[in-house]
Chain A
Amino acid sequence: MSNITIRLPSTRRTQNQYETGTSYLVTPGDVITEDTDYMRGHGTYCTGDADDKLYSSVAGVVERINKLICVRALKSRYTGEVGDIVVGRVKEVQQKRWKIETNSRLDSILQLSSVNLPGGELRRRSATDELNMRSYLNEGDLISAEVPQVNVDGILSLHTRSLRYGKLSQGCLVIVSPSLIKRRKNHIHNLSCGASIILANNGYIWIYTTQHSSQTEEGDGGFIISNESIPIEDREIICRLRNCIKCLAKRSVVLYDTSILYAYEASMSYKVKQLLDDEVCDEIVNKTIYLLQQANVGNSEY
């Protein structure tokens, strides 16, 4: 029998220190403004009656950009935007296209024409390629891709026509709420701790070992999975990162390379499995927030 740890009840952590006097928080049905000048964005609606009030339709934070008012839900499905990087899982192989599950409202589409096939970028797609689609990407495979286009009904088109994207082989997938991923120029990082990470905009985070050898894989189009065994140290790093991300996500800390690295550093005094404890998690998150604030202060001094 394994040991079971039972934690004693502790008082719930209240975060009075963060309470903001000006609450931008709304819940469905709240009136955001009665002013008719504003434009209504996501998460808001008008009744269409004479009163012209603007109501919130989700629970979340009000964001105001000039005349546009949006309510960003604290948690929701991913709504794609052009240029986003996503990680997704192949759900279905269809004629000339794959259906990819990307945590968005409707499944995304990866056209056969939007992938790099073995044999170079400029290769013509033939009928045999259509028949061989399964051998490139099969149901259940994970891929990373970019969003070049959002269709009218909200379906995302994807493409992997870059070496940065394509099938993912060995690594670890962490799913968090899409709203926790910070929008940055670059979403793929080789972290200094020795692993790489794809912080996809749809909340799927892929952690994998950094490929040191920059071997050209143009020949196979990135569809070959290497089954080389990964050394235990690297695996430990991946696990530690994964747990750190989980901790941050649990406390709703925005995820980007710096925050993850700070958390990783803060976690070094613990064993990987200890990170799953709530107390340790709290401590790491607090430390991370402190470090981030320090960094911010530092930045603003310049």
Chain B
Amino acid sequence: FELISDEGYRFDGRKPSELRRVRCNMGVFTQADGSAYIEQGNTKVLAAIYGPHEASNNMRSRVCLDKCFINCEFSQAMFSSAERKKRSRGDRKGKDMSAHIKQTFEAAVRTQLYPRSQIDIYLQVLHSDGSLYCACVNAATLALIDAGIAMKDYVCACSASLTKETSLIDINHVEELAGCAEFSAAIMPKLDQIIYSELNGRIHQDELGQLVDAVTNGCKDIFAVIDRFEVITDNTEIAVSPRSLHS
């Protein structure tokens, strides 16, 4: 089972250090404070942000007096994978994923600005084709920016895997199935800080450096893509803004 051909191409025709096609859209919901949709190849995720708002009744116990708390809910559509599967909201995988995303954003959102509040991150996977965590984080970042919530930096996530001493980034479902170790990390690209990392499977200590480098580069590529997109949408808004300043 070869993940990468001798000519250096992966199953889907990418080179090891190439991302899948990234497309994204902000402000897809009007009801939510912020929302975004992202496609990384065939992995498609919707993110909606509500807040910061008054803590809902059933979360009163989590209210902090000096900062806001983040509530993350991850769910996967029944039709998101090849096989139709009923998934309950609170299954283990979903809970883990929610917890990881929550952790990630607790490190990036300036929560102390919003005491006693709650920020909801709702994530809905429409199609899963590998690197779910990463697509979710990237979608949530865009949605948070859309919601105007203060963050230290963008949060960009990317996954990587290692085969025959080559690191493959942004791995898809087929590559995930190959059983190699999968390393995911979320970084703050402008500050150059890693805020989350996760390793599934085993790799040798010496290979970690290589993987981290690959993932970091991947994250920066993702940042470049979504930042460029961000500027385009911003332009439409900035069009009127200057006028509001001096009229």
Q: Given the known A-B contacts A154-B115, A253-B240, are A28 and B231 also in contact in the complex, defined by CB atoms under 8 Å? A: no
Q: Decide if B239 touches A18 in the complex (CB within 8 Å).
A: yes
**Chain B residues near A163 (CB-CB < 8 A):** none
**Chain B residues near A33 (CB-CB < 8 A):** none
A73 to B110, CA, bound (A): 14
Q: Decide if A61 touches B238 in the complex (CB within 8 Å).
A: yes
B244 at interface, CB cutoff 8 A: yes
Q: Decide if A25 touches B239 in the complex (CB within 8 Å).
A: no
Tally of contact residues, A, Cβ under 8 A: 42
Contact digits for B133-159, partner A, Cβ 8 Å, 1 yes 0 no: 000000000000111111111100000
Residues of A39-63 at the interface with B, using a CB-CB cut-off of 8 Å, are 43, 45, 47, 55, 57-61, 63
Total number of A-B contacts with CB less than 8 angstroms? 117
A59 to B226, CA, bound (A): 13
B243 at interface, CB cutoff 8 A: yes
Q: Decide if B237 touches A74 in the complex (CB within 8 Å).
A: yes
Q: Given the known A-B contacts A18-B238, A19-B235, are A254 and B152 also in contact in the complex, defined by CB atoms under 8 Å? A: no
A287 at interface, CB cutoff 8 A: no
**Chain B residues near A14 (CB-CB < 8 A):** 235
**Chain A residues near B191 (CB-CB < 8 A):** 29, 47
> A106 contacts which of B116, B145, B149, B235 (Cβ < 8 Å)?
B116
A245 to B52, CA, bound (A): 26
A43 to B154, CA, bound (A): 14
A55 to B108, CA, bound (A): 13
Q: Decide if A27 touches B115 in the complex (CB within 8 Å).
A: no
Q: Given the known A-B contacts A27-B227, A106-B54, are A45 and B148 also in contact in the complex, defined by CB atoms under 8 Å? A: no
A202 to B242, CA, bound (A): 21
New contact pairs (12) apart from A57-B152, A105-B53, CB-CB < 8 Å:
A13-B236, A19-B235, A20-B242, A29-B151, A30-B190, A45-B152, A57-B110, A73-B148, A74-B148, A74-B234, A106-B53, A154-B114
* Residues of B bordering A, CB below 8 Å: 27, 33-34, 51-54, 110, 114-117, 145-154, 188-191, 227, 230-231, 234-245, 247
Q: What are 30 A-B contacts defined by CB distance under 8 Å?
A: A15-B235, A18-B239, A25-B238, A27-B230, A27-B231, A28-B145, A28-B150, A28-B151, A29-B152, A29-B153, A45-B150, A47-B191, A58-B149, A59-B234, A61-B238, A61-B241, A61-B245, A73-B148, A74-B234, A74-B241, A75-B33, A75-B147, A105-B52, A106-B117, A107-B54, A154-B115, A252-B240, A254-B243, A254-B247, A292-B247
